[in-house]
Amino acid sequence: MVETLTIKDQIRKLIELQKLDGEIYTFKRDLREKPQNLAKLKEEFESKKVNLKAHEDQYKSLQLTHKALEGDMKSFDDNIAKANSQLSVLKTNKEYTAKLTEIENIKADKSLVEEKIINSYDAMDAAKAAIEKEKVVVAEEEKKYVAEKKVIEDSIKVLEDKARVLEVQRAAIAPLVPKISLGRYERVLQHTDGLAIVPVNNGVCAGCYMNVPAQVANQIKMNKELVFCETCARIIYLEEDL
């Protein structure tokens, strides 16, 4: 049956294939783009978490500083206790006065650290409040991200289902075209963005919009073989002849 198809019949079948292949090409192109869209969406969401991480890092840094200050406070207390214990064994007023001065200097330094500790509490409270505030923002952004991600994933499933249906329809038509003609059509299809066969409108190829020479147009009318555009290599035909 395939071998007896006239050139006109072959072109009609190829036009049917082209309609399916055009849609399949579009769906597959969209399917290639969807993962890129998902990656971009994820990247945008991750960028929204930068401020939260910055606040969290700041809070950790403040905690380390606070811990170090508390360590300093313990050292001061230990030094004061040690100095006080030494007062009772001093033998001269000069030594006693010097030790008291040493204790007062330690207390003065301790007082500065105490002030820093109080300030660190305020800074940590502020950082913690900023973290909680930013968590609310990130939570809202995550909701948007998850919703948009689902839309894209659902659209991928729809496109895959549509492409499968078209592939089944294509599989029913392709065997009806002679293998040589089908092979030529499919080779062109791979290199012309999913558009392998086009009509000639008013002497112009509908694929590349270049003029089709009169000699080529006459060759089409003879219906002896498939004719290809000299410019874009697509199969061309005259609608009025079908």
Q: What is the DSSP string of 112-180?
A: HHHHHHHHHHHHHHHHHHHHHHHHHHHHHHHHHHHHHHHHHHHHHHHHHHHHHHHHHHHHHHGGGS-HH
Q: Among 170, 205, 226, which residue terminates a domain?
A: 170
- Domain of 105 in residue numbering reads as 40-170
- Phi then psi for residue 237, to 5 deg, are -150, 165
Task: Name residues whose C-beta falls within 8 Å of residue 219's C-beta, 6 or more positions apart in sequence.
Answer: 225, 227
| pLDDT for 3 | 53
DSSP state of 236: E
Evaluate whether residue 229 is within a structural domain. Answer: yes
Whether residues 160 and 237 share a domain: the answer is no
Q: Are strands 235-237 and 197-201 parallel, antiparallel or unpaired?
A: parallel
Record the pTM: 0.67
Evaluate whether residue 33 is within a structural domain. Answer: no
Whether residues 115 and 199 share a domain: the answer is no
Q: Among 109, 135, 170, which residue terminates a domain?
A: 170
Evaluate whether residue 189 is within a structural domain. Answer: yes
**Closest alpha carbon to 42 in 187, 145, 159, 136:** 145
For residues 11 and 215, give the distance between their C-alpha atoms in angstroms, rounded to a whole number: 20
- Per the structure, how many domains does the chain have? 2
Burial 89-111 (b: 16+ CB within 10 A, else e): eeeeeeeeeebeeebeebeeebe
CATH of residue 100's domain is: 1.10.287.1490
> Tokens for 117?
């500790």
For residues 113 and 219, give the distance between their C-alpha atoms in angstroms, rounded to a whole number: 97
From first to last of its 242 residues, the chain has per-residue pLDDT tens of 445 799 999 999 999 999 999 999 999 999 999 999 999 999 999 999 999 999 999 999 999 999 999 999 999 999 999 999 999 899 899 999 999 999 999 999 999 999 999 999 999 999 999 999 999 999 999 999 999 999 999 999 999 999 999 999 999 999 999 999 999 999 999 999 899 999 999 999 999 999 999 999 999 999 999 999 999 999 999 998 88
CA atoms within 13 A on the CB side of 234: 24
Whether residues 16 and 57 share a domain: the answer is no
For residues 185 and 48, give the distance between their C-alpha atoms in angstroms, rounded to a whole number: 49
